[in-house]
Structure formats: structure tokens, C-alpha cells
């Protein structure tokens, strides 16, 4: 496959996340509202912010796909026609659908609207993919349970016009193609209608019928066992293999994740895709290793490669996240040698930090810039000892530092939307 046609598809849980995804290099974003979406809880888009999001994305050459990927009940079906009419009116570029009934409504009502069949559909063979294409589907989001060789066969036996999308990064669901019944059984929250309680992340033990109250770990470990708790996916070192088997769109999971997560992961994968496009992508190269270090600086569980290369691993010790870095502030502007920022976390002077710049034309070769934070001032120019107020506007001077390898590329100006991050901050989202 021509690597120049690869699309990077990033999650956008709300308007702020959408803007960060766009700034940090997404070619397309997927969004949802409280209706027909597998992420129905806030934060989310309402109709007003969705209009703003589509406008911002399109102004920056980025497409917007609307998730309609729940399995709706009878009472919800009648609302779908009006919902997608609105989507077409505001310029949505494609609908992501699971249910065949909704697919039929969409194709009859909006015949020119591109339809992407969701991973929830459970597409695991070429016959299903080809059938969906014949029904008017332009893209299939393949099931996460497929190996590279199975994807290659699907590509070989389906129309070349059918686009293939696969997840490359983020949380993995232990249920087949995300069709979970555990959440509803234990909590009454239907995961197939956007209300997943993530019951698979809980700690489980066995109890024998005649010994009530005595709990036995499933594994011989006093901590118990997280038998359903899958590792996070990280395919950045293997993007060339996904390209070789014909994947069209690389999808990052995480509409419920923070703006910081969206920014860093999008930037890392965009950088890797750019290397693919210039035939300079070497999985074991220093730059790919550096990008993997970036992915370690967002909240994540231990990484794996899902089903692509071998049997997926699971993480038994804990369902918690690894979190060593977090966002401290977002840059508003650089002026007179100071950075003016909006607070996202409490920081103090003399703190070591890193600046991560958006994927703009003048700094596409930069990954991050090590700095030391100097004097901090409030919006009135008064010296302060910390930034303890949520989203307060403040400024600071800084000194650039060379990283350990000494091969960082400097940027002449820090653009708006750059992220200031520090190690050891208490997570704010």
C-alpha cells in the first residue's frame, strides 16, 4: 500500500480535545454526542460545540467523523433520521455505525454520506467486509482480534476502494469486538449503549459455596488476579507492518482520555507516519525509540501489541495507570522572553519541565524542549510562588536545556497551544 495515503485518526471527546488533536497532527478526528455514541457520559459534544468543532477542523484541513456506534433500542430508532440530517447539515465527513438498521436508514436518507462500519460490528473476514461494501459502506473498522496475516487476506479479497481502519494505540477491551455484557450484568450500565463501567478492570476472586465470605485469589498470589484486564495497545514500532497489509487509517483510542494524552500520542504517531512517508521508518531506530519514550509519558497501562503479532498479554497486578508525567500548562503566547500560559496543574519556580510544541510547519522536527522554569508571575505581573488556581493565567521565564543525547532541534519561537509538562505532578484528569 502507498504509505502516503495513510490517515491518522485521533479521538476528540470534546471541543478542547478536538483542537489539540488538530494542532498536534491528526488528519481526522472522531467525535460523539450523548446520542448514539459509545461514550455517552460527559465530557462530550453538544450540538453547539459540535458545529464549532467541525468548523475548526475543516479550517485546518482535518476531517470529522461522527460516532453512531451504539446498538439502539426500538425507542431510539425514530430519532436517528433527524440526528444524521443535522450531521450532514453541519458538514460531518462520515458516520461511524454498528447497527445494520441504522446503516439502512443512513444510506436511504443520505446516499452520499460516507459510512464507516465500527469495530463493534465484529468484522473478522473478507466476506463480511465485501458484503458491507456492497451495501454502500466506504470503510470498515476491523475487529481488534485480527492478526496481520488475517488483515492481509481481507485486503486481498475485498474491493480496493474499500478502506481498512485499525486501532494502533490505547485501551483494549477484553470482550470480543467490545461487545460487553459484564458491565450491565454487574451494574446495570449497558456498555453497548455507551455506559461501560469498566468492570473488566476490577479485582476478582473465587468464593466456594460452603465457605461464604472466604475469598480465594484465582492465581496463587495474595494480591488476587486481574484476569480480564488487558494491556494497552502500542503499535508505533510496527506501523510499517500495518501499512504492508493494507491498512488505510491508523486509529488512536481515547475519547475519554485527557487533552494531554490526545496531544502527545497524536504527535508521536504523526511523526512516525511522516517517517513512513519518506521511507525513513526503521522500527529499531533511535527516533522510533524516542517516540516510544513519548508514549510512556502519558497515562497508560503496560503496553502490548494486541492480537496483531501473537496472543495478547494481560496485566494481572493492577488495573491502575502508569503516570509519571502530566500537563502543567498550555501556552497562550510567547512575548518578551516569557511564556504566557493557562494553568492545568500546580507548578513552582525552579522546576524542570518540557515544552511539547504542536505539529506546525516551523517545528515538525521537534519532539520536546527541556527547560527550567524561572520566575512565575500572575496576570498583573506580580511574582507568585506557585500556580494553584485552576486555569489561572500566568507567565514565566525559562532557560532551555540540552537533553542527554544532545541532538535536540531547537525552535526559534514557542507557538500557542504548546504544552508544558512536568514529571511527578498529581494527575488532573
CA-atom Rg of the chain in angstroms:
23
Question: Cα separation of 18 and 50, whole Å?
Answer: 10
Q: Is residue 312 part of a domain?
A: no
Percent of the chain with pLDDT over 90: 61
Total of domains in the chain: 2
Under 8 Å CB-to-CB from 362, ≥6 apart: which residues?
411, 412, 413, 415
Phi first, then psi, for residue 233 (nearest 5°) are -90, 140
The pLDDT value recorded for residue 204 is 67
User: pLDDT tens digit string along 321-336?
Assistant: 888 899 999 999 998 8
Give, in order, the Cα–Cα distances in Å from 91 to each of 51, 60, 163: 8, 14, 21
Hey, which residues does 94 pair with through a beta bridge? 65
User: pLDDT tens digit string along 264-321?
Assistant: 999 999 999 988 888 766 666 788 888 999 999 999 988 999 889 976 666 666 667 8
Asked if 255 and 394 sit in the same domain, the reply is no
Q: Is residue 244 part of a domain?
A: yes
Q: How confident is the model at residue 212 (pLDDT cuts 50, 70, 90)?
A: confident
Q: How confident is the model at residue 351 (pLDDT cuts 50, 70, 90)?
A: very high
pTM comes to: 0.86
Q: Tell which of 268, 303, 338 closes a domain.
A: 303
Helices (H), 245-390: 259-277, 286-295
Q: Residue 202, Cβ neighbours under 10 Å: how many?
A: 14
254: left (phi over 0), alpha (psi -120 to 50) or beta: left
Asked if 414 and 276 sit in the same domain, the reply is no
- DSSP helix/strand/coil, 203: coil
Range of the domain at 346: 325-423
Asked if 287 and 391 sit in the same domain, the reply is no
CATH number for the domain including 331? 2.40.30.10
Amino acid at each position: 500500500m502507498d504509505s502516503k495515503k495513510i490517515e491518522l485518526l485521533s479521538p476528540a471527546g470534546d471541543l478542547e480535545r478536538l483542537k489539540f488533536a488538530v494542532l498536534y497532527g491528526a488528519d481526522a478526528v472522531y467525535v460523539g454526542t450523548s446520542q448514539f455514541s459509545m461514550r455517552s457520559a460527559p465530557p462530550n459534544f453538544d450540538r453547539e460545540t459540535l458545529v464549532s468543532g467541525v468548523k475548526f477542523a475543516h479550517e485546518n484541513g482535518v476531517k470529522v467523523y461522527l460516532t453512531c456506534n451504539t446498538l439502539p433500542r426500538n425507542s431510539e430508532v425514530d430519532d436517528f433520521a433527524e440526528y444524521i440530517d443535522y450531521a450532514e447539515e453541519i458538514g460531518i465527513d462520515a458516520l461511524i455505525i454498528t447497527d445494520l438498521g441504522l446503516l439502512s436508514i443512513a444510506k436511504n436518507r443520505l446516499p452520499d454520506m460516507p459510512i464507516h462500519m465500527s469495530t463493534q460490528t465484529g468484522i473478522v473476514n473478507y466476506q463480511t467486509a465485501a458484503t458491507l461494501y456492497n451495501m454502500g459502506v466506504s470503510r470498515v473498522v476491523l475487529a481488534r482480534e485480527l492478526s496481520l496475516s488475517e488483515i492481509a487476506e481481507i485486503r486481498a479479497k475485498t474491493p480496493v476502494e474499500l478502506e481498512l481502519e485499525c486501532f494502533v494505540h490505547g485501551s483494549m477491551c477484553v470482550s470480543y469486538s467490545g461487545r460487553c455484557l459484564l458491565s450491565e450484568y454487574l451494574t446495570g450500565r449497558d456498555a453497548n449503549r455507551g455506559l461501560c463501567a469498566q468492570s473488566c478492570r476490577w479485582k476478582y476472586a473465587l468464593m466456594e459455596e460452603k465457605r461464604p465470605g472466604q475469598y480465594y485469589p484465582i492465581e496463587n498470589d495474595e494480591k488476587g488476579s486481574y484476569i480480564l484486564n488487558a494491556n494497552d495497545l502500542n503499535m508505533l514500532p510496527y506501523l510499517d507492518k500495518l501499512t504492508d497489509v493494507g491498512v488505510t487509517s491508523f486509529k488512536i483510542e481515547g475519547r475519554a482520555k485527557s487533552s494531554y494524552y490526545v496531544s502527545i500520542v497524536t504527535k508521536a504517531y504523526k511523526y512516525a507516519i511522516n517517517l513512513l512517508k519518506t521511507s525513513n521508518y526503521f522500527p529499531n531506530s533511535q527516533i522510533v525509540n524516542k517516540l516510544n519514550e513519548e508514549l510512556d509519558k502519558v497515562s497508560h497501562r503496560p503496553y502490548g501489541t494486541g492480537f496483531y503479532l501473537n496472543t495478547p498479554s494481560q496485566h494481572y497486578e493492577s488495573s491502575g495507570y502508569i503516570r509519571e508525567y502530566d500537563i502543567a500548562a498550555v501556552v497562550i503566547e510567547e512575548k518578551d522572553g516569557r511564556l504566557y500560559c493557562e494553568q492545568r496543574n500546580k507548578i513552582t519556580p525552579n522546576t524542570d519541565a518540557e515544552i511539547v510544541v504542536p505539529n506546525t510547519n516551523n517545528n515538525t522536527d521537534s519532539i520536546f524542549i527541556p527547560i527550567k522554569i524561572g520566575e512565575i508571575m500572575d496576570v498583573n505581573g506580580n511574582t507568585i510562588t506557585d500556580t494553584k488556581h485552576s486555569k489561572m493565567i500566568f507567565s514565566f521565564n525559562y532557560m532551555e536545556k540540552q537533553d542527554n543525547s544532545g541532538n535536540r532541534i531547537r525552535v526559534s519561537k514557542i507557538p500557542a497551544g504548546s504544552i508544558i509538562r512536568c514529571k511527578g505532578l498529581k494527575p488532573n484528569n
